[in-house]
Amino acid sequence: MDTIPTQPTADWREYYVDPHPGLKSTERIQETCGACSGTGIYTAPTHITDGLGRPFCFACKGTGVHSRLVSSARATARAHAKARAEHANTMRALAARRATFELAHPGLRDQLTEAHLSVRDGNPLRVRIGQLLDRLEEYAGTLEEEEVTEALELLDQLGKETAASRPVPTGRTIIRGEILATKTIDTKWGVTVKILIQGVGWRVWGSRPSEISTARRGDVVELTATISASDDDPSFGFYSRPSKAHVIAAGLRRSA
Ligand SMILES: [Zn+2]
């Protein structure tokens, strides 16, 4: 596999700015108290009051400042610089990993994105392709090798499906095919179950007739219905007024 030459590692010194230039490490400086913003007066509900009954900042004992060694202030600035350098290195490593992946699998992300857009809702391929795209986002634009293998298989399968697609029969016709998916829809008239049936090179979508109310994904069913083709996909249709529905073959059921 080709690799991208890695960028030089960020050094914390690139991010460090001496907070007190010119001062010796052993000198002391005064910093504004963060708890009271330098007022010496505490504004939160619980407080200790001074001799005049004013709420008193416990952190700075009412002085509004903290005295600190220059060496201590520099140590804090160094810690911040190190955190920034570490973050920069993490971002560089992620960018390098992403670039290496794209070199090894050119165009895979675009192909998956395009495939996801072209696959109809309800096609099981769509779900898996979507999950792989999500993985690409989460995983710094890369996939594990076995996921790449799966992605290529899904794209291949989709290509075959597209090549095998045929115009859906229209009008009053007998539909015979496997249930690819079911979807329960709540309407104001009650609950309806819609099913996606895979015919030979085409698919149809419609309500599951009551005669086959137990039919599920994987079952092969037959019914008579009126089909109208989708406007944007001639291999996809919507059926209505189903009758004479029955299950021809039960699919493999997963045991509970
Ligand atoms: Zn204070």
Which residues, other chains included, contact 119 with Cβ-Cβ below 8 Å and sequence gap of 6+?
125, 126, 129, 158
- What's the burial of 230, exposed, middle or buried (CB within 10 Å: 0-12/13-18/19+)? middle
Q: For residue 50, what pLDDT band results from cuts at 50, 70 and 90?
A: low
Cα–ligand 1 centroid distance for 20 (angstroms): 22
Same domain, 179 and 236: yes
Longest dimension (CA), the chain: 95
CATH number, domain containing residue 237 = 2.40.50.140
**Domain final residue, candidates 138, 164, 190:** 164
Cα–ligand 1 centroid distance for 82 (angstroms): 28
Indicate the residue type of 166. Answer: R
Same domain, 188 and 154: no
Specify the number of domains making up the chain: 3
Domain extent, residue 130, equals 108-164
4 lies in some domain: no
Cα–ligand 1 centroid distance for 55 (angstroms): 11
CA gyration radius, the chain: 33
Indicate the residue type of 100. Answer: T
254 lies in some domain: no
Cα–ligand 1 centroid distance for 68 (angstroms): 14
> Using CA atoms, how far apart are residues 177 and 220, in angstroms rounded to an integer?
5
192 lies in some domain: yes
Degrees, nearest 5: CA angle 127-131-134:
140
Neighbours of ion ligand 1 (CB under 5 A): 33, 35-36, 57, 59-60
Same domain, 99 and 151: no
Across the strands, what pairs with 68? 29
Q: Would you say the pTM of this structure is higher than 0.75?
A: no
Same domain, 181 and 244: yes
Cα–ligand 1 centroid distance for 67 (angstroms): 12
Give the tens place of pLDDT for each residue, 71-99.
Answer: 999 999 999 999 999 999 988 888 888 88
Same domain, 100 and 20: yes
Give the tens place of pLDDT for each residue, 187-212.
Answer: 888 888 999 999 999 999 999 999 99
Same domain, 100 and 121: no
**For the chain, what percent of residues have pLDDT higher than 90?**
53
Same domain, 120 and 136: yes
Classify residue 101 by its DSSP letter. Answer: H
Cα–ligand 1 centroid distance for 62 (angstroms): 6
68 lies in some domain: yes
